[in-house]
Chain A
Amino acid sequence: MKQTILREIAHSRSGEKGNHSNVSVIAYELADYPILLEQVTVAAVRKLYGPITRGSITRYEVPSIGALNFVLEDVLEGGRSRTLAFEESGKALSSLMMTLPMTVPDSYIERSTNTLKKDTQ
């Protein structure tokens, strides 16, 4: 097994809903969804977002597209309309998710070294 980060396995998009933010985690390959299910847990995500998330963190599973959806409650210091945060929309929160440490088999081909990125080319 080897250590990597979530950015090598999945992609993410985040946004705002009032004072909450959602951060999706989407496997590049459907076959990797079980890795996400096992390792991208609420506890792991709380380690990243805990210092700014005053409310609960909920994980929703979307196996049909190999994705998880995290909802961080009370994370925007009042929401876009009243926050003092420099980044007010939650749209930049997805990149923090990408730093999550992950363990994968030695043979795993990481996204940055995969020369067959057919999906976006």
Chain B
Amino acid sequence: MKRIRLGSATGWSRDRFEPASALVRDGNINYLCFDSMSEVTMSAAQVARMENGDTVPYDPYLDDRMRPIIKACKEKGIKIITNQGWLDPQAAAERVLAIAREEGIADLKVAAVSGGLLLDRLEELDLTFIENGARVSSSPDKIVSAETYLGAEGIVQALRDGADIVITTRVADACVYLGPLAYEFGWDFNDHHLMAKGMIIGHLLECGCQVSGGYFADPGYKDVLDLHNVGNPIVEVTDAHVIISKLPNTGGVVCEATCKEQLLYEVQDPSRYLCPDVIADLTRVTFRQIGKDQVEVFIDQAGLPKTPTLKALIGLEEGYMTEEMVLFAGPGALERAELTREILTERFKRVDLVAEEIRMDYIGLNAVHRESSGEAPSAPYEVVLRIALKTRTRKEADKLRREVDPLAVNGASGTGKWATSSPGSRVRPVVGLSSALVPRELVPFSVSIHSL
């Protein structure tokens, strides 16, 4: 019976670097899969390119991710699937070829899966925002990015074309797993139960070690060993079974509880988990511990036909935001933080600050759960006043630091300073993300092969 093992190298673009090498060395895997995206990745990349034309259009960590493993993967026949292509997968593929040459690899096929970028087609597509029903093309805010979540078909085609490495633009995160599974097992994209099986496996693995003990520990309630060396997950798939495990001699844990948490992670209606290639019914999934750090996943006919549309994310230039912090400790810390808040509120009036939103929170009391925070101690030892604001112009946002820095000499007693030696401005542009649905037939993908 055919048996395919996929290793999860990263759960997002700035995840740890070592697990990829460990999986290649010890994981006995057929595929190494990288998810390098979050919702904001593409718009942030677009903005970085606008601010500095020298910024690469793909994941800036591409070199650091590929260089340590590319030769060993080629020698062992491990294929690499990664969505690090971001805005320009073809440029990323060319870069990987250059790395391969430097590493002394003689022959290599890299496939770039492109498509889904809509920025130049917004007039013609005439989309509407899901959030408020307004027409995208008449948005008052400048649109800086627009891309759909593609499905896994491009990855399958790339593998059929003989690619050793597949680099994609934005695909749904789970597709870097669904793609190789559909290819290996010859799954028909119209068989929604098989698509759901692959999508659910991908969903469980897409956040890396969030299924193998990461983001799980709660001392005394959920104890996890050696998180400093947490092992990334491996999934073994045959027609008969799906088993999640992790590298031996690593920290973390693979148990039913970690799998359950990840199954529902960032899910809305579990009975209708919308993906580009299928709708998956996550209520038809169960888990069974079959050994130490080994969980079998049972997926029972969990597919529903895919929707006629793909989801697109649209990045909108919405002004600027900035933040400052002022530090207090010891007797009266909270009272002095409150006084500082009053001073700043008056100063904002004096300098005619025009802000769309202002937040002032006391870190240590109510900054994380905000207005839903539990009751605060009446005399906390430390309080950090955090001030954040959003403005239409950079000039207005710059006013915040001009009011906070002087507090060092004209504020409350014992006012501590945060990062004042960092020069210049902490003001950054806001690129808000909204979404729209695009008829899938209007979003073709393409595969190009780049060879040594």
Query: Does B associate with A?
Result: yes
Structural contact, B222 and A11, CB atoms closer than 8 A: yes
User: B265-300, CB under 8 A of A: which get 1 and which 0?
Assistant: 111111100000000001111110100000000000
B403 CB–A CB distance under 8 Å: no
B26 CB–A CB distance under 8 Å: no
B72 CB–A CB distance under 8 Å: no
Structural contact, A80 and B372, CB atoms closer than 8 A: no
Structural contact, A92 and B369, CB atoms closer than 8 A: yes
Structural contact, A11 and B388, CB atoms closer than 8 A: no
Report the minimum CB–CB distance from B283 to chain A (whole Å): 5
Total interface residues in chain B, CB < 8 Å: 61
Structural contact, B267 and A81, CB atoms closer than 8 A: no
Contacts of B38 on A, CB cut-off 8 Å? Answer: 80
Residues 256-271 of B at the A interface (beta carbon under 8 Å)? 256-257, 260-271
Main secondary structure of the interface of B (DSSP, over half): mixed
Q: Which residue of the partner chain, among B39, B264, B368, B433, contacts A67 with CB atoms under 8 Å?
A: B264
B120 CB–A CB distance under 8 Å: no
Structural contact, B222 and A120, CB atoms closer than 8 A: yes
Structural contact, A48 and B264, CB atoms closer than 8 A: no
Report the minimum CB–CB distance from A84 to chain B (whole Å): 4
Structural contact, B283 and A64, CB atoms closer than 8 A: yes
Report the minimum CB–CB distance from A38 to chain B (whole Å): 19
A52 CB–B CB distance under 8 Å: yes
B374 CB–A CB distance under 8 Å: yes
Structural contact, B432 and A78, CB atoms closer than 8 A: yes
User: B202-239, CB under 8 A of A: which get 1 and which 0?
Assistant: 00000000000001101011111000000000000000
Contacts of A26 on B, CB cut-off 8 Å? Answer: 257, 260-261, 264
Knowing A7-B221, A81-B432, A119-B255, say if A48 contacts B372 (CB, 8 Å).
yes
Q: Which residue of the partner chain, among B215, B265, B374, B390, contacts A84 with CB atoms under 8 Å?
A: B390
A35 CB–B CB distance under 8 Å: no
Knowing A24-B264, A119-B255, A119-B289, say if A86 contacts B220 (CB, 8 Å).
no
Complex: A7 Cα to B271 Cα, angstroms: 25
Structural contact, A52 and B369, CB atoms closer than 8 A: yes
User: A1-40, CB under 8 A of B: which get 1 and which 0?
Assistant: 0000001000111011111101010101000000000000
Report the minimum CB–CB distance from A65 to chain B (whole Å): 5
Can you name the residue of chain B whose Cβ is closest to the Cβ of A71?
A: B268
B352 CB–A CB distance under 8 Å: no
Complex: A26 Cα to B323 Cα, angstroms: 36
Knowing A80-B40, A81-B40, say if A22 contacts B267 (CB, 8 Å).
yes
Complex: A96 Cα to B366 Cα, angstroms: 12
Complex: A117 Cα to B43 Cα, angstroms: 43
A112 CB–B CB distance under 8 Å: yes
Complex: A109 Cα to B372 Cα, angstroms: 29
Q: Which residue of the partner chain, among B131, B253, B270, B390, contacts A69 with CB atoms under 8 Å?
A: B270
User: A35-69, CB under 8 A of B: which get 1 and which 0?
Assistant: 00000000000001111100000001011111101
User: A95-121, CB under 8 A of B: which get 1 and which 0?
Assistant: 110010000000000011000010111
Contacts of B315 on A, CB cut-off 8 Å? Answer: 81
Structural contact, A65 and B286, CB atoms closer than 8 A: yes
Structural contact, B257 and A11, CB atoms closer than 8 A: yes
Structural contact, B268 and A20, CB atoms closer than 8 A: yes
Complex: A20 Cα to B388 Cα, angstroms: 21
Complex: A80 Cα to B40 Cα, angstroms: 8
Report the minimum CB–CB distance from A98 to chain B (whole Å): 8
B449 CB–A CB distance under 8 Å: no
Can you name the residue of chain A whose Cβ is closest to the Cβ of B368?
A: A87
User: Footprint of A on B, CB under 8 Å?
Assistant: 38-40, 43, 131, 215-216, 218, 220-224, 253, 255-257, 260-271, 282-287, 289, 315, 318, 321, 323, 357-359, 361, 363, 367-372, 374, 386, 388-390, 430-433, 435
User: Footprint of B on A, CB under 8 Å?
Assistant: 7, 11-13, 15-20, 22, 24, 26, 28, 48-52, 60, 62-67, 69, 71, 77-82, 84-87, 91-93, 95-96, 99, 111-112, 117, 119-121
Top 5 nearest A-B pairs (CB, nearest first) are: A51-B371, A15-B266, A24-B264, A13-B261, A82-B432
Q: List 14 A-B residue pairs with CB atoms under 8 Å apart, sorted by A's residue number.
A: A7-B218, A11-B218, A22-B264, A63-B283, A65-B260, A66-B260, A67-B264, A77-B357, A85-B388, A87-B368, A99-B374, A112-B220, A119-B289, A120-B255
